[in-house]
């Protein structure tokens, strides 16, 4: 041999590699980053700070007669009208969304349509202007829109909207129980018997009745998604009757999921925190407190309905096929789950 040893060969290779790595590191440092990543302090395109993605300014004091119109709110909620982009997750599916004219229900309806589903929405009859806007958005996505105005406090109306949705959609495999009634009162002494009954009839009894009417027609693979709340876990003291219904919805979701697993139907709950919807301006906040709404969240603001749309889509899609009896939160860092 010429005197070159295995050790000197390996040593030379290591030195060469070190030079290459050193040069690469120097080049990366000169570019302000490593491994071809964007320079430090330059976020990737599309990355947004959740604290400022939507307004974190206090909402102006405002009030509308119940149930209120989203189109008259200042500022109007963002339900994904211009931002949500679908990717075919729900192609060919058939959905019924209660309270689908505005707020969280509207965001779910828009997202479902853009993911390929035909959508029926139920709403209180005076909410027709908002409902017409949603119908236009569903049709613009190339899907069928069915409008079902009705007060869901009666069993007959609950059964009728389910039957009509099934007939006009040609079936039903996604049910979103979202409609709600909320009135803030400082004391139990301020809650009338009429308010307590109406809150339970709208938020819980209707959910029970609509689900009962829908289940016989829902095939295996179908889903039921109930809109609960952080109040399901941590009740707001000014929302005693409302929070009580949301606690019931949590237990209803878990119990029904166990029953319907035998049919291959999944049941889950979305638990929003403070979201900017018509509920807030129609009595959902105590007088004079609108400017505080959402300001105490760790993210420093209230949520917008568009930020929940993906939760409903995921729970409705086959991608979450092993998820049932669960709850998904959206609370800005405060509350459960």
Res 32 pLDDT > 50: no
Res 115 pLDDT > 70: yes
Res 8 pLDDT > 80: no
Find which of 28-32, 36-40, 153-157, 329-333 is predicted with most confidence, using mean pLDDT. 153-157
Res 285 pLDDT > 70: yes
Residue 40 binned pLDDT confidence (cut-offs 50, 70, 90): low
| Least confident residue range of 22-36, 95-109, 120-134 | 22-36
- 142: alpha, beta or left, given left = phi > 0 and alpha = psi -120 to 50? left
| Least confident residue range of 19-28, 51-60, 197-206 | 19-28
pLDDT tens track for 222-276: 999 999 999 999 999 999 999 999 999 999 999 999 999 999 999 999 999 999 9
Mean pLDDT of the 154-163 span: 98
What's the CATH number where 294 sits?
3.40.50.720
d(CA 113, CA 103): 16
Let me know if residue 109 belongs to a domain.
yes
Res 199 pLDDT > 80: yes
- pLDDT attached to residue 45: 81
Let me know if residue 165 belongs to a domain.
yes
Can you point out the beta strands (E) in 54-143?
A: 94-98, 118-123
Let me know if residue 86 belongs to a domain.
no
The Cβ of residue 9 has, within 10 Å, a number of other Cβ atoms equal to 10
pTM of the model: 0.87
Residues 6+ apart with CB under 8 A from 167: none
Domain count, the chain: 1
- pLDDT attached to residue 43: 77
- pLDDT attached to residue 90: 98
Res 170 pLDDT > 60: yes
Mean pLDDT of the 160-182 span: 98
User: If you ran DSSP here, which 8-state letter would residue 125 be given?
Assistant: G
pLDDT tens track for 291-305: 999 999 999 999 999
- pLDDT attached to residue 128: 98
Mean pLDDT of the 310-324 span: 98
Please report the sign of the dihedral spanned by the C-alpha atoms of residue 88, residue 217, residue 322, residue 271. positive
Q: Which residue would you say has higher pLDDT here, 3 or 53?
A: 53
d(CA 283, CA 293): 13
Let me know if residue 124 belongs to a domain.
yes
Partners of 303 in beta bridges = 275
Give the range of the structural domain holding residue 128, as residue numbers without chain letter: 94-330
Residues 6+ apart with CB under 8 A from 49: none
Let me know if residue 238 belongs to a domain.
yes
User: What are the catalytic residues?
Assistant: 242
d(CA 32, CA 164): 61
Let me know if residue 64 belongs to a domain.
no
Let me know if residue 196 belongs to a domain.
yes
Res 19 pLDDT > 50: no
The proportion of the chain whose per-residue pLDDT surpasses 90, expressed as a percent, equals 85
Collapse the DSSP code of 175 into the 3-class scheme (helix H, G, I; strand E, B; otherwise coil) and give the result.
strand
Q: Which residue would you say has higher pLDDT here, 131 or 12?
A: 131
d(CA 43, CA 294): 27
Let me know if residue 312 belongs to a domain.
yes
| Least confident residue range of 28-32, 245-249, 320-324 | 28-32
Mean pLDDT of the 91-102 span: 98
């Amino acid at each position: 041999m010429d005197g070159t040893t295995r050790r000197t060969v390996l040593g030379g290779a290591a030195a060469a590699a070190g030079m290459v790595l050193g040069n690469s590191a120097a080049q990366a440092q000169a570019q302000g980053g490593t491994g071809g990543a964007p320079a430090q302090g330059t976020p990737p395109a599309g990355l947004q700070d959740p604290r400022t993605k939507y307004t974190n300014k206090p909402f102006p004091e405002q009030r509308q007669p119940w149930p209120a119109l989203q189109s008259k709110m200042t500022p109007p909620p963002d339900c994904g009208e211009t931002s949500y982009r679908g990717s075919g997750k729900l192609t060919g599916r058939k959905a019924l969304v209660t309270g689908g004219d505005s707020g969280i229900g509207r965001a779910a309806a828009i997202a479902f349509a853009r993911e390929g589903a035909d959508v029926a929405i139920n709403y209180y009859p005076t909410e027709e202007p908002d409902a017409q806007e949603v119908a236009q958005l569903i049709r613009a996505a190339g899907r069928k829109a069915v409008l079902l105005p009705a007060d869901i406090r009666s069993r007959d109306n609950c059964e009728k909207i389910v039957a009509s949705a099934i007939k006009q959609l040609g079936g039903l495999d996604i049910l979103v129980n979202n409609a709600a009634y909320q009135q803030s009162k400082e004391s139990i002494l301020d809650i009338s018997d009429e308010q307590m009954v109406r809150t339970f009839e709208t938020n819980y009894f209707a959910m029970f009745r609509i689900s009962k009417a829908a289940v016989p027609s829902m095939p295996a693979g179908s889903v039921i998604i109930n809109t609960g709340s952080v109040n399901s876990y941590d009740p707001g003291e000014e929302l005693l009757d409302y929070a009580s219904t949301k606690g019931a919805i949590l237990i209803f979701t878990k119990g029904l999921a166990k029953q319907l697993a035998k049919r291959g139907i999944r049941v889950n709950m979305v638990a929003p925190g403070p979201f900017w919807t018509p509920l807030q301006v129609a009595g959902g906040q105590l007088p004079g407190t609108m400017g505080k709404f959402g300001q105490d969240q760790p993210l420093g603001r209230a949520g917008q309905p568009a930020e929940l749309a993906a939760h409903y889509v995921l729970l409705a899609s086959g991608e979450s096929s092993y998820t049932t009896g669960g709850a998904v939160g959206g609370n800005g860092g405060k509350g459960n789950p």
